[in-house]
Chains A and B, each alone.
Chain A
Amino acid sequence: MRSITRRTLLKAAAAGGVGWSTQGWCRLLADQLSASRSSRRHCILLWMNGGPSQLDTFDMKPGHENGGEFKEIATSVPGLGISEHLPGLASMADELAILRGLNTKEGDHGRGTYLMRTGHPPAGPVNYPTIGASLSKELGSSRDDLPNYVSIAPYRAFNQEAFEPGFLGPSFAPLTVGASDIIAAAPAEDSGDEGYAPLKVDDLAFPRELHPSQSAGRLQLWNSLQTSFLAHHDVASPRGHDTVYRRALRLMNSDSAKAFDLSQEPDQVRDAYGRGRFGQGCLLARRLIERGVAFVDVTLGSLTGASIGWDTHQNNFAAVKELSAELDAGWSTMMIELRDRGLLESTTILWMGEFGRTPKINDMGGRDHYPNAWSCVLAGGGIQGGQAYGKTTDDGMEVDEGQVGVGDVLATLCKALGVSPEDENISEQGRPIRIAEGEAIADVLA
């Protein structure tokens, strides 16, 4: 969030003509605060775990043997076609900027996940923050009831660090909902309330067996201990402890925590998003954005049965068809609902996975890992929708035009959100690190 710098204050004072006027900067402060609240920007990352097939979603190759079984359909934008299994998105193509010239160097799940989510290959001593941590630091406010970064249904087993705030520290860590990192912990898709995938925040309330009078008593005693310790130990770690606890308490006691209660939504709305984790996650994302959360990521493609989401080494087409149905319902309903609420123009959406898949179909009807030429999609606020930027060769093997790397994608995302990608944070080694290396793609920005 833009803050009032010493320089703008001095400028305001100078403009006042007679040096320092308290009234002047009070008004400036009030103006800035109201402006910042109404111009709040939000970001949603739709994370496609396993590496989605670009050839069967957003970069179809009709008529080529690499193209596979699916048909391309026309969209609301003349000349732009996508998969027949994404009809909802096709009708909203005027919001989408499809980047078809993505080229990266990491073809391993763990390394690719780290690369795409932090903008850096995993190497060396720097713990780079996941992009949600960096962006929520810029876009969010520590005065909010809700955490600035919420991560929904992540599958972190490929690379735990790719989901962490790295050198930014734990105050920028996401609040995680419905993680499915290990098989035993993954809740069944339909085990939740009345056939919807359960997404809940762990330990958000005092244990149920607690007597109502006790919670007030506990907090009163805790507060007295905390206050007297901090009075004599006014340094970083006690202050950090106090900040984190008070934010957690605020979350427990706030009305905003109701955002997590999806049963407040009518069944037809919940059904429109899809009953699985991803669909319900997109609904939760909309509810969180409505309440001012800066960054939400929603994962599609966690563990289902024996295979991991989009990692379609075998039976690619059956799996992608199923995943596309979930993707289409969740994503397009979320965009419609955000648009209806006037929030789509302040919310930028990025769709991507850790890499693409091989154009050549293997002997098991599958596609393997392919970082050489693949696609991601930007949509919503700050994005010039209704276009495909970049192009792959007819066989899909190489980027023909508009080649971009992960740094360019993340820099473009930053710009679309009104964040300068050149802004720096200091790593634990004392090195200044930019939010995103790379060039923002001007053609994709509105």
Chain B
Amino acid sequence: MTSGDFQELDTGEVTLPDTDEVIPVRYLGGELADDEENSRRRLLADWMVAPDNPYFARATVNRIWSHLFGRGLVDPPDDMGQQNPASHPKVLEALAEYFKQSDYDLRQMIFLLTGTQAYQLSSSSGESGDAMPELFHRMAIKSLTAEQMYDSLAAATCRLQPAQLGGPTFGLNRVLDQGRQSFLTKMRTPNNGGTKFQSGIPQALSLMNGGLTAGATDGSESDILQSLQAPFFSDEERLETLFLATLTRLPQPDEQTTFLAYLETHDSEETKQRALGDVLWALLNCAEFALNH
């Protein structure tokens, strides 16, 4: 549900269904929430962040951890309780304490976590596959949310200029961007992020064959492909530009061989432009682009 479905009322009581019996409002734990001065929402907020409430800081820290690491210290993060202990209880306690002392500063918490060695580990799995993700011995590979996917596509294909991405009007542009909205409707997944790949066949079809990708990989429409037409570029440079724009890395030697060979078989200006579109298509549809790794 969206927040638009709710309306805060300043009056009104909760009654038993089909009766007039008023149910008094209590805190979790049983104490009456009885205060004429303040709204109930205010009372709830104060109660949640009260220094003697042990739950809020732990749950919040665990949630931020799970966003960054793909799984919580307590996992699933919605299932906190004695039956589901944390993988690293001392780490969770220390982070919760730090979070309280920083006056619940999310920015500082994210700064702290992203600076850790644990966060900066490689996601490369080597031989060990999926074994023991709860040890956080390498970075988890996370799926992009639909929003991240659209923005990544837009940024990689120069549909949005970098200045626009950071600029103050970006928020409004995003709401008004109908292409973005219809993409999000199509690509929406029940649990955004996480370490499971969430999309299905219709979404894959749309990314391979849909209008957004077709436009981005068509030489006469695509901004990035048109800019690569300049005659002073070599094929190596064109290839490097496309890899950097999509995967933010240079091609590996074996990739360079494969892709250059493909470009070289297309030597007229028209077929070259098409071949560059094919390279971009492959890059935009590969797992490395679609995942946060």
Contacts and interface: CB of A to CB of B under 8 A. Distances in A.
Tell me if chain B binds chain A.
Answer: yes
Contact of B210 (A169, A202, A222): A202
B278 A235 contact: no
B269 interface: no
A146 to B, nearest CB: 10
A169 B199 CA distance: 8
24 contacts: A161-B190, A169-B196, A169-B198, A170-B199, A176-B202, A204-B209, A205-B209, A206-B209, A209-B214, A221-B282, A225-B283, A228-B252, A229-B286, A233-B293, A235-B130, A235-B195, A236-B141, A237-B143, A237-B287, A238-B293, A244-B199, A244-B200, A245-B204, A428-B76
B287 A238 contact: yes
B129 A234 contact: yes
Contacts of B130: 234-236
B258 A224 contact: yes
Interface residues of A, number: 57
Given A164-B190, A228-B252, A245 B198 contact: no
A429 interface: yes
Interface in B246-293: 252, 254-255, 258-259, 262, 274-275, 277-279, 281-283, 285-288, 290-291, 293
Nearest to B198: A170
A252 B191 CA distance: 27
Nearest to A431: B79
Interface string B169-207: 000000000000000000001110001111111111110
Smallest CB-CB A-B distances: 7 pairs: A240-B197, A221-B282, A248-B204, A203-B209, A173-B200, A170-B200, A225-B286
Interface string A153-172: 00000000100111101111
Interface in A417-432: 428-430
Interface stretch (B45-53, B111-119, B120-128, B227-235): B120-128
A252 B201 CA distance: 10
B142 interface: yes
A170 B191 CA distance: 10
Nearest to B127: A234
A226 B275 contact: no
Nearest to B141: A237
A29 interface: no
B156 to A, nearest CB: 14
Q: Which of A176, A236, A251 has the most CB of B within 10 A?
A: A236
Contacts of A238: 141, 197, 287, 291, 293
A235 B137 CA distance: 13
A253 B190 CA distance: 29
B125 A222 contact: no
Given A225-B282, A248-B208, A251-B201, 6 more contacts: A214-B277, A226-B287, A229-B287, A238-B287, A240-B198, A430-B84
Contact of A429 (B79, B285, B287, B288): B79
Nearest to A248: B204
A165 B201 CA distance: 13
Contacts, number: 162
B195 to A, nearest CB: 6
Interface in B50-104: 76, 78-79, 84
A309 interface: no
Contacts of B76: 428-430
Contact of B141 (A233, A245, A252): A233
B263 to A, nearest CB: 10
Nearest to A245: B204
A232 interface: yes
Interface of A: 125, 127, 147, 161, 164-167, 169-173, 175-176, 201-207, 209, 211, 214, 217-218, 220-222, 224-226, 228-230, 232-242, 244-245, 247-249, 251-252, 428-430
A221 B258 contact: yes
A237 B142 CA distance: 7
Contact of B281 (A218, A233, A237, A252): A218
Nearest to B189: A170
Contacts of A233: 123-125, 141, 287, 293
A238 B125 CA distance: 11
Given A170-B197, A232-B124, A242 B205 contact: no
Contacts of A242: 287
Contacts of A237: 141-143, 195-197, 287, 291
Contacts of A169: 196, 198
A221 to B, nearest CB: 4
- Residue among A147, A164, A203, A234 facing the most chain B CB atoms (10 A cut-off): A203
B290 to A, nearest CB: 6
A240 B282 contact: no
A408 to B, nearest CB: 25
Which of A170, A203, A237 has the most chain B CB atoms inside 10 A of its CB? A237
A169 B194 CA distance: 12
Contact of B286 (A176, A222, A249): A222
Contacts of B195: 235-237
B262 A173 contact: no
Contacts of A224: 255, 258
Contacts of B214: 207, 209
Contact of A236 (B196, B210, B279): B196
A175 B202 CA distance: 6
Contacts of A239: 197
Contacts of B190: 127, 161, 164-167
A240 B278 CA distance: 23
Contacts of A211: 274
Contacts of B258: 221, 224
A237 B292 CA distance: 10
Contact of A203 (B208, B254, B279): B208
A207 B125 contact: no
A150 to B, nearest CB: 10
Contacts of A214: 274, 277-278
A203 B282 contact: no
Nearest to A166: B190
Interface in B120-153: 123-126, 129-130, 140-143
A203 B206 contact: yes
B205 A228 contact: no
Contacts of B78: 125, 428-429
